Amino acid sequence: QQLSLQERLRLKEEKKKQAALMKALETPEEKRARRLAKKEAKERKKREKMGWGEEYMGYTNTDNPFGDNNLLGTFIWSKALEKKGISHLDEKDLKERNKRIQEDNRLELQKVKQLRLEREREKAMREQELEMLQREKEAEHFKTWEEQEDNFHLQQAKLRSKIRIRDGRAKPIDLLAKYISAEDDDLAVEMHEPYTFLNGLTVSDMEDLVEDIQVYMELEQGKNVDFWRDMTIITEDEIAKLRKLEASGKGGPGERRDGVNASVSSDVQSVFKGKTYNQLQVLYQGIESKIRAGGPNLDIGYWESLLQQLKAYMARARLRERHQDVLRQKLYKLKQEQGVESEPLFPIIKQELASPSDSPLFSLPCRLDPEEMVQPGPSSEPEAEQDAEAKGEAVLMEEDLIQQSLDDYDAGKYSPRLLSTNELPFDAHVLEAEEDTHRLLLLRQQLQVTGDATESTDDIFFRKAKEGMGADEAQFSVEMPLTGKAYLWADKYRPRKPRFFNRVHTGFEWNKYNQTHYDFDNPPPKIVQGYKFNIFYPDLIDKRSTPEYFLEACQDNKDFAILRFHAGPPYEDIAFKIVNREWEYSHRHGFRCQFANGIFQLWFHFKRYRYRR
């Protein structure tokens, strides 16, 4: 860099010397021409700076088409300077002032340009944020769609199971799905444990069952995962047992060591059988600690094989206890519905083992040498049952539950309890014996005529009232109490409230404001657009009297009104609180007021006012 700087200085000095030599040798005419060219170049540069075009570059004060002798001079607006009060400034001060103004304008333009760039940058960021929000919204919508799809596949799988069960070609997974769905249904009762459905299945059937269980676990997304996991463990254990039997039948591979000798297997099963889940869990922890402790004479294969068998027994114990709990809860609910006061149902007193010496682990047969098998001690099933009874433990089986239910039924505990008048709820519908007999005769006559007893009179009324119910309609049952209402016929007929099925019609009102501030993705709040009242009067004394309605203003709120219906004996008046707006009485807009087949229908919509110029 230093060399380049010295080179530039040397060239500059040489240029100065050449210019000085040229000035010393030039004639007066050349000197005058050189100064005129320099002056013209300066004037051209000045004109370019002022924004003159190419066509005006050659104009001078004497040679221009405008006749201006001061064309090249700076224009001074004297009137404007006088108005601003700066006419006393000389030309130099005015030039400096103009330069300051131009500099301020230039800075202002830079600021405006910077603001414009910032606005564009903010706009780009907003568009990027909107795009990210749209992507998140689409991802959420896609996630919801996936959940709906999984729920649809689950419902379809359950529907296929129901069809196969109904047609008598049920698969094991269908019976298991029916069992787990019956736990949520108070009326459905499954009396058999779920692992009993595996009886009589082949290896291929159980392998298909394991795959079907995995499908159900994925579709249910964590629901009933403990049940399906236990069924998987039990199914895999049964598959292993069947394969072992097949291998031993063929010979050869069946002779291999699998950890437990056939002579010891029966004693091991007698120890595991009849134990509760807590006892098996303590036994499992004891075997694990024994394996971790190790030892020179410990047969690892034997104890690991016991662990595998114990897992299946623990799964069966969990399912058995869960099955008993479900039966206990359903029987308790049934007794509560029947009004039967019962003691704690099926009490089970579980006592934890106090010390490791009491653990069933020490009653297991143990192997001291892989070649020699020590025979187990006299630990048999009857003694285990005696120990369980001595400790106050009761393992309930299916026969015990059935026998206890039959005993309760024989004792008359399922008979309904007689209620007094004070114990009835306020809106209870009480039937007299004569009225119930009369209704029963009518139902028998209907059955003789139609041969169909599936629908009662109320069911027919409700079915007619629900006809044509759309997605934008909801059930409406806000009833207003009527106080101080006395009926002259109350001593002859017992007053009662009529039954009803009302609907309210809601929707969006797309006026100018809502069109401006809302869209279909973010709709405005719904408003009430109309009502449909269906009041049932099947037992009117005077069949010729037509029910009436009365619209009364609400005293506490002018935006609502009270719609009261009056029919006559034996029905009381009934009232509802509705929106107070003007009705549309045209049949073309859905107005209906009629009484037919014991149903009084009052359908109406509100008027819609549209803005017009």
Give the DSSP per-residue string, 272-340: HTT--HHHHHHHHHHHHHHHHH--TT--HHHHHHHHHHHHHHHHHHHHHHHHHHHHHHHHHHHHHHHT-
Residue 367: beta bridge partners?
none
| Range of weakest confidence among 4-13, 31-40, 424-433 | 424-433
One-letter amino acid of 182: A
C-alpha 564/C-alpha 547 separation (Å) is 11
The full 3-state SS of 473-495, as one line of letters, equals EEEECCEECCCCCCCHHHHCCCC
The number of CA neighbours under 13 Å toward the Cβ of 56 is: 13
Q: What pTM was estimated for this model as a whole?
A: 0.37
Whether the CB-CB separation of 239 and 206 falls below 8 Å is answered with: yes
Q: Is the peptide bond before 524 cis (omega within 30 degrees of 0)?
A: no
Mean pLDDT of all residues in 514-537: 86
DSSP state of 345: S
Nearest to 158 by CA among 173, 147, 138: 173
Whether the CB-CB separation of 533 and 603 falls below 8 Å is answered with: yes
Residue 593: beta bridge partners?
602
C-alpha 436/C-alpha 153 separation (Å) is 47
C-alpha 290/C-alpha 98 separation (Å) is 101
Nearest to 534 by CA among 442, 457, 454, 467: 467
Distances (CA, A) of 123 to 114, 119, 127, 163: 14, 6, 6, 59
C-alpha 420/C-alpha 252 separation (Å) is 78
Give percent of the chain above pLDDT 70: 73
| Range of weakest confidence among 51-55, 97-101, 214-218, 568-572 | 51-55
C-alpha 8/C-alpha 2 separation (Å) is 10
* 600 φ/ψ angles, rounded to the nearest 5 degrees: -95, 120
C-alpha 497/C-alpha 484 separation (Å) is 15
One-letter amino acid of 189: V
Q: pLDDT by residue (tens digit) across 448-461?
A: 766 555 555 566 66
Helices 203-220, 225-250: crossing angle, 10 deg rounding: 160
pLDDT band at 104 (very low <50, low <70, confident <90, very high): very high
pLDDT band at 114 (very low <50, low <70, confident <90, very high): very high
* Four-residue CA torsion sign, 27, 33, 34, 35: positive
Q: Which residue has the higher pLDDT, 228 or 348?
A: 228
Vertex 466 angle, CA 426 and 166, to 5°: 100
Vertex 49 angle, CA 47 and 51, to 5°: 70
Q: Which residue has the higher pLDDT, 512 or 370?
A: 512
Q: Which residues contact 269 (CB under 8 A, 6 or more apart)?
A: 309
Q: Is the pLDDT of residue 343 over 70?
A: no
Helix/strand/coil for 468: coil
Q: What is the mean pLDDT of the chain?
A: 76
Please give the torsion angle defined by the CA atoms of residues 363, 368, 373 and 376, in that order, rounded to the nearest 10 degrees: -10
| Range of weakest confidence among 31-45, 171-185, 502-516, 518-532 | 171-185
Is residue 595 packed enough to be buried (19+ CB in 10 Å), middle (13-18) or exposed (0-12)? middle
Mean pLDDT of all residues in 216-222: 77
Whether the CB-CB separation of 97 and 90 falls below 8 Å is answered with: no
Nearest to 379 by CA among 468, 463, 274, 465: 274
Q: Is the pLDDT of residue 235 over 70?
A: yes
pLDDT band at 612 (very low <50, low <70, confident <90, very high): low
Q: Which two tokens stand for residue 63?
A: 């040679």
Classify 523 in phi/psi space as left (phi over 0), alpha (psi -120 to 50) or beta: beta
Q: Which two tokens stand for residue 246?
A: 């097949």
User: What local confidence, expressed as pLDDT, does residue 465 receive?
Assistant: 61
Q: Which residue has the higher pLDDT, 256 or 43?
A: 43
pLDDT band at 341 (very low <50, low <70, confident <90, very high): low
Q: Where are the alpha helices (DSSP H) in 455-600?
A: 457-465, 512-517
> Of the segments 131-135, 276-280, 584-588, which one has the largest average pLDDT value?
131-135
User: What local confidence, expressed as pLDDT, does residue 460 receive?
Assistant: 61
Distances (CA, A) of 50 to 63, 102, 425: 19, 12, 100
C-alpha 446/C-alpha 460 separation (Å) is 13
Q: Is the pLDDT of residue 499 over 50?
A: yes
| Range of weakest confidence among 211-225, 450-464, 474-488 | 450-464
One-letter amino acid of 332: Y
Helices (H) and strands (E) in the chain, counts: 15, 11
* 365 φ/ψ angles, rounded to the nearest 5 degrees: -70, 135
User: What local confidence, expressed as pLDDT, does residue 243 receive?
Assistant: 85
Place of tokens 């005696």: 386
User: What local confidence, expressed as pLDDT, does residue 126 receive?
Assistant: 93
Helices 203-220, 172-182: crossing angle, 10 deg rounding: 40
Nearest to 470 by CA among 607, 608, 600, 603: 603
Whether the CB-CB separation of 235 and 201 falls below 8 Å is answered with: no
Q: Which residues contact 363 (CB under 8 A, 6 or more apart)?
A: 271, 377, 379
Q: Is the pLDDT of residue 234 over 80?
A: yes
Q: pLDDT by residue (tens digit) across 380-410?
A: 344 444 444 444 344 455 667 777 777 777 7
Classify 51 in phi/psi space as left (phi over 0), alpha (psi -120 to 50) or beta: left
pLDDT band at 41 (very low <50, low <70, confident <90, very high): confident
One-letter amino acid of 345: L
Mean pLDDT of all residues in 525-533: 88
Whether the CB-CB separation of 495 and 487 falls below 8 Å is answered with: yes
